[in-house]
Amino acid sequence: MDIVITIQHAANVHFFKHVVGELESAGHDVFVFAREKGVVGELLDAYEIDHELLCGEPRGWLGLGLTQLCYEARLLRRTRAIDPDYILTSHGIAATHVGTLVGAESHVYIDTETAINGGNRLTIPFTDVLYTPDSFRETYDAEHVRYPGYHELAYLHPDRFDPDPDRLRAHGVDPDERYAVLRLGAWNGNHDIGKQGISAAGRHEIVDELATDGRVFVADEGDGPLPTGAEPLPVPPADFHHLLAFADLVVGEVATTTLEAGLLGTPTVRISPFAGSSEMGKFRELAEYGLVRSFHTDHETTAIRELTRLYRDPSAASNWADRREALLATKIDVTQYILSQILADVPEPTPEDRDSGPTLAASGSGPDSGTDAGSVSAHHPGSHPGKDAPPRPDRPSVNRR
């Protein structure tokens, strides 16, 4: 089969990296097209994923619209020449439009409700099959499929990822010493208009509080100046999840990072203008499990008081580890789920399948393919037996060809 995958954000690279490797290992032709944003190109190179960058990073709100138009036009031209069977995307507006025009069956994975991400309105009407986590708060038509997982469990499920302390030691970080990670956003996405994160004073106060007990690493998408006492990220983007896994605390504005940290069992506090009454379903569920504590930016002072208390709580790490295990008992390997929707002999995973490993060969692409090296007792990497998988002829098709 010929399969097109589109990448609009660094999180999309992680979401699809194992999918690409497993499909290619099974003999399918995968074409990855990307729009540069942040470290998208760097991550694709790090994982040795063959790809084509169709557009550079936009500048300003006007540039965002013009870049989107350019991206759609170039993607249409490339995809029409390929004539793919499927086009896969995560929150990819262009992919659904192009899929409609070339007759490819579009599988779209979305985890942010339309009430927060208005771009869904340009995506969902053109989608053949819409997949969302079962915590998703909105309901669409009969082609809306829910699954027990999160996007982040396509790459952080214990069968896919095992934190490696040597990845940190190679960059001068002792995983046994205390440190915190502060993740700040750029606030330039289509859903960020009129929003802002932690105040400048709040950033400095957070670093001041945390630096008294250990190192504080700051990742700022906006490339702002580091607060006094903070350090820049010590690891390359491909090793960021290892840094999150061994941290004593993660504080962030960015949804993906805070969700990742919570799923890794790291005590996590989120300070966001999206928290509150219109909260995303995935964060409501994580709050129920006690894995991410979210505060609206209007309650920044309360959030700082709580993160300071949490950082000094000696029982926090063990509490989060227990909560993580309770959550994972109800969730699936999302990479295997994606594969099961387009390949005939990849069964849909269930929570009980944990530790059985993926179905296809996991030779993958790049240094982070399959299960990462290293071991931590709380994590359970699975085996990855090789297996060929033909196209899935038995799946009810909604292809418009």
Does position 297 have pLDDT exceeding 50, yes or no?
Answer: yes
* Residue range 95-107: mean pLDDT, rounded: 95
Strands 86-90 and 52-55: unpaired
Cβ 35 vs Cβ 50: under 8 Å: no
- Residue 19 gets which letter from DSSP? H
Three-state DSSP state, 72: helix
Backbone phi, psi, residue 81, to 5°: -70, -30
Distance CA 14, CA 44 (A): 9
Q: Which two tokens stand for residue 289?
A: 């499990």
pLDDT at 57: 76
The pLDDT tens digits for 127-169 are 999 999 999 999 998 799 999 999 999 999 999 999 999 999 9
CB count in 10 Å sphere of residue 235: 18
pLDDT at 356: 53
pLDDT at 374: 31
Q: Which two tokens stand for residue 166?
A: 């040597």
Cβ 292 vs Cβ 271: under 8 Å: no
Does position 363 have pLDDT exceeding 60, yes or no?
Answer: no
Q: How far is CA 216 from the centre of its chain?
A: 23
The pLDDT tens digits for 3-14 are 999 999 899 999
Q: Confidence class of residue 68 from pLDDT cuts 50, 70 and 90?
A: confident
Distance CA 293, CA 355 (A): 28
| Start-end of H helices in 346-398 | none
* Residue range 33-60: mean pLDDT, rounded: 89
Q: In the chain, what is the straight-line distance between the N-terminal and C-terminal CA atoms, in Å?
A: 15
